[in-house]
Amino acid sequence: MFSQLHCANKIFRNLYNGEWAESNSGQTIPIHSPVDGSLIGHIQAMTKEEADRAIQNTKTNLTEWANTPIYKRAEVLYRAADILVKNAETIADVLVMEISKDKKSALSEVERTADFLRYTADVGKGLEGEAIGGGNFPGGSKDKISYVTRVPLGTVLAISPFNYPVNLSVSKIAPALMGGNAVLLKPPTQGAISALYLVQAMNEAGLPAGILNTVTGKGSEIGDYIVTHPGINFINFTGSTGVGKHISNLARMVPLLLELGGKDAAIVMEDADLDSTADNIVSGAFSYSGQRCTAVKRILVMDSVADELIKRLTDRIQALKVGDPRDNAHITPLIDKKAADFVQELIDDAINKGATLVMGNHREGNLLSPTLFDNVTEDMRLAWEEPFGPVLPIIRVKSRDEAIAIANRSEYGLQSSVFTQNINDAFYIANRLEVGTVQVNNKTERGPDHFPFLGVKASGMGTQGVKYSIEAMTRPKAVVINIEEHS
Ligand code: NAP
Ligand code: G3H
């Protein structure tokens, strides 16, 4: 079923009006594997004119889709979920090679995507409007009733990042479709092929032509054009804070949902269960080699338990397998050389400024060994910048207020963890942290996907999560009935 995605010579196409089509420009972008440099395929570098046509085409069946009963829209999502599950191995293998994600996590990304589709269909079916009586407000009248339904916004531009090209595409596409919108997907360049497999599953499931179109090409070349296109009615973006800010500067009077970078802190109190804390921190910091917005990106630990925590962290980090994602290594080559160079810069800066290297700092190409630093101080870049790689700084603190102050000094505000046995400390700290979510005795993480997921400050704008995403991509429509009195 995926044969239509590409020509015999691995040239992948775009979905346009229900068909897979090549760009007229003849321009393609080669996609090489970060695992071994092999060529995975080519994607189309679409021209502005083609992007324009793709956006216009999303309007063709938009009214029909918006008027399709919700349970019928849900059926398409259920079918797409079944197709994904049936083809999970194939799609996971593409993810492994395209974005260097270990096979187990790649399979879990596909399964999570199928779950997301089903749950979104369920929630979408349950959404209802309301009727509001006019007599509730002073001066109002019981003879006035506002009849409120939720209606689609139009064409949603979904822009997804490389680290979850399937799952963070569906987290935009599925709620948009349940809300009755059409979608233009701009996948990440590295990750586009994996995302196109998802799109084929959606297409095969029976979406009307044009309700889901794709535009591939470098964001730096085609991005500004699509973001400012008058045919786009909502932008749903996940990616770096730099690109997110750029988009929000460009988008005028178009609603946005931005999920951006983070510098999630794990605050460890004196009474924390250090074994469970270390398990959580290592999994939180190093899964997919730290390339997750929600990765634990700094530890703020009470000085009195820091040495004990470090022992436990070291044991667990040593057990991480470093190498090839096909062999289910935990730590795999980073997405590209630029990413690995950036992480190395942060490591070098920390060493030069006197941080204690506990373990790591070995590099082979883009494969960096898991690296742990103690005694990181506030003058070091690692204290503040998001590495998006396998390096974890420890900052020692003397009180919960000091931990809160350092946590909040970050430009980011995605999530934080607090590890403690004391419910009062947990609430004291959680109530003061400037983040979207605080996890008590757990690593920072997005799921489960029906929870609200949001960042504050430079970590984002708006709220994701199944119900919240549907609400974000629909608007209330009010019809006010004025009952006339007849004598
Ligand atoms: P990125 O470089 O910002 O790219 C994200 C997406 O934006 C890609 O599809 C990219 O296309 C596109 N893009 C680039 N320039 C654009 C422009 N001018 N207009 C429109 N689109 C443009 O981010 P990334 O490297 O893929 O992902 C890593 C970052 O994302 C990290 O900072 C991470 O924290 C963040 N992230 C956040 C969340 C969250 O939920 N908060 C989730 C995942 C990742 P190209 O690939 O073609 O450049
Ligand atoms: O990279 C950002 C993702 O939203 C993180 O999702 O916490 O499930 O890995 P995750």
Q: What is the mean pLDDT of residues 62-91?
A: 98
Distance 293 CA to ligand 2 centre (A): 6
**Residues 138, 82: one domain?**
yes
Q: Is the pLDDT of residue 23 over 90?
A: no
**Residues 91, 226: one domain?**
yes
Q: Is the pLDDT of residue 22 over 70?
A: yes
Is 486 within the bounds of a domain? no
Is 482 within the bounds of a domain? no
Q: Report the SS3 class of residue 352.
A: helix
Is 481 within the bounds of a domain? no
Residue 486 has a pLDDT of 75
Supply the residue whose CA is at minimum distance from atom 35 of ligand 1.
Answer: 239
Distance 111 CA to ligand 2 centre (A): 15
**Residues 138, 166: one domain?**
yes
Protein residues whose CB sits closer than 6 Å to any atom of ligand 1: 159-163, 168, 186, 188-189, 218-220, 223-224, 227, 238-240, 243, 246-247, 259-262, 293, 386, 388, 414, 455, 460
* Residues facing 15 on adjacent strands: 20
Does 293 qualify as catalytic in the annotation?
A: yes
Residue 57 has a pLDDT of 98
Is 208 within the bounds of a domain? yes
Helices (H) and strands (E) in the chain, counts: 15, 24
Q: Give the ligand with the smallest distance to the CA of 108.
A: 2
How many independent structural domains does the chain possess?
2
With CA atoms as reference, report the closest residue to 391 among 290, 302, 320.
290
φ/ψ (deg, to 5) at 296: -65, 120
Distance CA 378, CA 381 (A): 8
pLDDT band at 487 (very low <50, low <70, confident <90, very high): low
Distance CA 14, CA 92 (A): 20
What domain range includes position 271? Answer: 265-458
Which residue is catalytic, options 50, 98, 293, 385?
Answer: 293
Looking at residue 256, what DSSP letter applies? E
| % of the chain exceeding 70 in pLDDT | 100
Q: What is the mean pLDDT of residues 329-346?
A: 98
Residue 352 has a pLDDT of 98
β-pair type (391-397, 371-374): parallel
Looking at residue 411, what DSSP letter applies? S
243, 384, 412, 416, best to mutate for ligand 1 pocket (most atoms within 8 Å of CB): 243
In tens, the pLDDT along 420-457 reads 999 999 999 999 999 999 999 999 999 999 999 999 99
Q: What is the mean pLDDT of residues 473-482?
A: 97
Q: Is the pLDDT of residue 165 over 70?
A: yes
**Residues 188, 255: one domain?**
yes
Protein residues whose CB sits closer than 6 Å to any atom of ligand 2: 163-164, 292-294, 445-447
55, 160, 163, best to mutate for ligand 1 pocket (most atoms within 8 Å of CB): 163
Q: Is the pLDDT of residue 141 over 70?
A: yes
Question: At 203, which CATH number?
Answer: 3.40.605.10
CA dihedral in degrees (337, 338, 340, 346; nearest 10)?
160
Q: Report the SS3 class of residue 371.
A: strand
**Residues 433, 466: one domain?**
no
Looking at residue 464, what DSSP letter applies? B
Structure tokens at 7: 């020509």
**Residues 352, 415: one domain?**
yes
| % of the chain exceeding 90 in pLDDT | 96
Under a CB-based contact definition with an 8 Å cutoff, are residues 392 and 296 in contact?
A: yes
β-pair type (212-214, 182-186): parallel
Structure tokens at 418: 């607090």
**Residues 58, 188: one domain?**
yes
Distance CA 381, CA 62 (A): 48
Q: Give the ligand with the smallest distance to the CA of 469.
A: 1
Supply the residue whose CA is at minimum distance from atom 46 of ligand 1.
Answer: 188
Distance CA 208, CA 360 (A): 52
**Residues 230, 376: one domain?**
no
**Residues 60, 187: one domain?**
yes
Q: Give the ligand with the smallest distance to the CA of 259.
A: 1
Distance CA 464, CA 415 (A): 14
**Residues 376, 241: one domain?**
no
In tens, the pLDDT along 231-280 reads 999 999 999 999 999 999 999 899 999 999 999 999 999 999 999 999 99
Residue 372 has a pLDDT of 99
Distance 237 CA to ligand 1 centre (A): 8
With CA atoms as reference, report the closest residue to 202 among 246, 172, 240.
172
- Residue 431 CB neighbours (<10 A): 9
In tens, the pLDDT along 198-225 reads 999 999 999 999 999 999 999 999 999 9
Is 483 within the bounds of a domain? no
**Residues 238, 311: one domain?**
no
**Residues 371, 357: one domain?**
yes
Tell me what the pLDDT averaged over the chain comes to.
97
Identity of the residue numbered 118: R
Is 485 within the bounds of a domain? no
Question: At 336, which CATH number?
Answer: 3.40.309.10
Give the position, in ligand 2's atom list, of the atom nearest the Cα of 168.
4
Which residue is catalytic, options 259, 385, 386, 445?
Answer: 259
Q: Report the SS3 class of residue 350.
A: helix
Q: What is the mean pLDDT of residues 107-136?
A: 96
Residue 9 has a pLDDT of 84
- Residue 251 CB neighbours (<10 A): 18
pLDDT band at 7 (very low <50, low <70, confident <90, very high): confident
Q: Rg (Cα) of the chain, in Å, rounded?
A: 24
Q: Give the ligand with the smallest distance to the CA of 287.
A: 2
Residue 262 has a pLDDT of 98
Distance 191 CA to ligand 1 centre (A): 11
Q: Provide the residue count of the chain.
A: 487
Distance 308 CA to ligand 1 centre (A): 37
Residue 207 has a pLDDT of 97
Distance 239 CA to ligand 1 centre (A): 3
Q: Is the pLDDT of residue 359 over 70?
A: yes
Residue 4 has a pLDDT of 85
Supply the residue whose CA is at minimum distance from atom 14 of ligand 1.
Answer: 219
